[in-house]
């Protein structure tokens, strides 16, 4: 079980890290397109949770797995993938000299200004953004925030996998016949 968790967790983690970088290159200014690409990359990468749980069910348990065991294996795979996601984000920040937050704040304020926000509204937004900048300056807080970005998908994929794969008739293992 441990080997399957590790292998599929690493595959999912490397996949999410690569796809995150591709999404950032395709949508350098972020926005809705970047958000859709980011969540899509998480879904694609965390589909390895399903594959890993199925592999475990079929190769080590003879095609039968209980819900809680499937959920546990799925969460373990997703956790490893999430660690890779956080590490990839930290590496990106390091390589870009931690300029992300300043760029994000400037872009957000420019967008608000172009939408016709008043000076008072812009000042309030700037104060709020400065408090977020302070939070983001702490590496532990930043990693926690980054971890929560992938968490909804990292919870949903193991749950779906466990619900589907607990039924041994759902994508049954192939049995060799002579």
Q: What is the percent of the chain where pLDDT is above 90?
A: 69
Domain ranges in the chain?
2-165
**Cα Rg of the chain, angstroms:** 20
Residue corresponding to tokens 């400065």:
130
What is the rounded CA–CA span in Å between residue 114 and residue 133? 22
Q: Would you give the distance in Å from CA 42 to the centre of its chain? A: 5
Give the Cα separation of 178 and 176 in Å (integer).
Answer: 7
Contact present, 49 and 157 (Cβ < 8 Å): yes
Cα–Cα distance for residue pair 78/82, rounded to 1 Å: 6
pTM equals 0.88
Beta carbons within 10 angstroms of residue 115's beta carbon: 8
pLDDT of 178 strictly over 50: no
- pLDDT above 70 (res 102): yes
**How confident is the model over 151-176, as pLDDT tens digits?**
999 999 999 999 999 999 899 887 54
Better pLDDT: 32 or 86: 86
Q: Which of 152, 143, 4, 22 is nearest to 69 (CA)?
A: 4
Element counts in the chain: helices (H) and strands (E): 6, 0
């Amino acid at each position: 079980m441990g080997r399957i968790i590790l292998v599929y967790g690493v595959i999912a983690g490397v996949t999410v890290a690569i796809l995150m970088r591709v999404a950032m290159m395709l949508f350098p200014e972020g926005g809705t397109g970047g958000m859709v690409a980011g969540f899509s990359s998480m879904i694609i990468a965390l589909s390895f949770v399903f594959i890993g749980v199925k592999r475990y069910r079929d190769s080590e348990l003879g095609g039968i797995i209980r819900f809680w065991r499937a959920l546990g294996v799925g969460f373990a795979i997703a956790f490893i993938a999430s660690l890779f996601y956080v590490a990839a984000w930290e590496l990106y920040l390091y390589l870009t000299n931690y300029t992300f937050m300043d760029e994000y704040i400037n872009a957000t304020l420019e967008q608000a200004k172009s939408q016709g926000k008043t000076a008072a509204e812009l000042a309030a937004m700037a104060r709020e953004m400065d408090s977020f900048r302070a939070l983001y300056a702490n590496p532990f807080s930043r990693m926690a925030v980054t971890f929560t970005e992938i968490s909804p998908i990292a919870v949903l994929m193991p749950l779906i996998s466990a619900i589907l794969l607990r039924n041994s008739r759902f994508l049954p293992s192939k049995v060799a016949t002579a």
